[in-house]
Amino acid sequence: MKKTKRSIRAEHAILKATLSVLMEEGYAALTVDRVAAMARASKTTIYRRWPTKEHLILAVFDQLPIAPPANKGSFEKDLTAMFREFEKIMRDSPMRGVLPMLAAECVHNPALSGALIRVNDQRRGPMRQIVQRAVERGELRRDLDVELAIDVIQGAILIRMYFLLDRLTPRWIRGLVDMLHEGFSKARRN
């Protein structure tokens, strides 16, 4: 079904209202009634596209660009380029303030947790490509646990941005990339 200008405007208003409620009032305040009122849309219109508020949240995430997997010929250059792009994307993104709140909500909300696991897996894809290419090029050890490596990378970034409330500065990125390259390339100890 082709979207009309009216349906595109309605969708934009609904997603903007969803993000606004999340930012200003938190997940608990996010209801279809609240979003419908803010977006001046009917609940039927919302439910037709997004059957739950978790689906609304996923749609909001889908609007946030994903840092592409750079292919500059080395692990260090690829990761540095991706981190710089991620910093640009998140610098002024309203999602920066929403993500920690949603992560906390996941502790007791399996539906939201399941939705965000899918989002996180999509976001891990570019990093996975960078790490796997580096393993294939012989820059990183062959037995590297790629998923654990991505956990380490994401953990460092999330702590920096959401707990320390600091930017991913060029100096910090360089330090992290150097540390990751050194640690991921060394042979495993017995």
Q: Is residue 83 exposed (0-12), middle (13-18) or buried (19+ Cβ within 10 Å)?
A: buried
Query: 171 with 77, same domain?
Result: yes
In a domain, 14, yes or no: yes
pTM: 0.80
Q: How far apart are CA 190 and CA 175, in angstroms?
A: 27
Query: 84 with 149, same domain?
Result: yes
From first to last of the 190 residues of the chain, give the pLDDT tens digit. 567 887 889 899 999 999 999 888 888 889 999 999 999 999 999 999 999 888 898 888 888 778 888 889 999 999 999 988 888 887 777 777 788 888 888 888 898 898 888 888 888 999 999 999 999 999 999 999 999 999 999 999 988 887 787 888 899 999 999 999 999 987 666 5
Region of 26 (left: φ > 0; alpha: ψ -120 to 50; beta: rest) is: left
Query: 87 with 55, same domain?
Result: no
- pLDDT at position 187: 67
- pLDDT at position 105: 87
Query: 75 with 24, same domain?
Result: no
Are 49 and 11 spatial neighbours (Cβ–Cβ below 8 Å)?
yes
- pLDDT at position 188: 67
Query: 55 with 146, same domain?
Result: no
Query: 25 with 36, same domain?
Result: yes
Query: 68 with 146, same domain?
Result: yes
Q: CATH number of the domain that 55 lies in?
A: 1.10.10.60
- Quick one: tokens of 151? 């956990």
SS3 151: helix
In a domain, 13, yes or no: yes
In a domain, 157, yes or no: yes
Query: 68 with 26, same domain?
Result: no
In a domain, 116, yes or no: yes
Q: How far apart are CA 177 and CA 185, in angstroms?
A: 12
Query: 106 with 48, same domain?
Result: no
Query: 173 with 114, same domain?
Result: yes
Q: Which domain holds residue 38?
A: 5-61
Query: 145 with 70, same domain?
Result: yes
In a domain, 190, yes or no: no
In a domain, 47, yes or no: yes
Q: Which of 23, 40, 61 is the last residue of a domain?
A: 61
Q: CATH number of the domain that 103 lies in?
A: 1.10.357.10
Per the structure, the count of domains in the chain is 2
In a domain, 151, yes or no: yes
Q: How far apart are CA 88 and CA 147, in angstroms?
A: 24
- pLDDT at position 1: 55
In a domain, 16, yes or no: yes
- Quick one: tokens of 1? 């079904």
Query: 25 with 57, same domain?
Result: yes
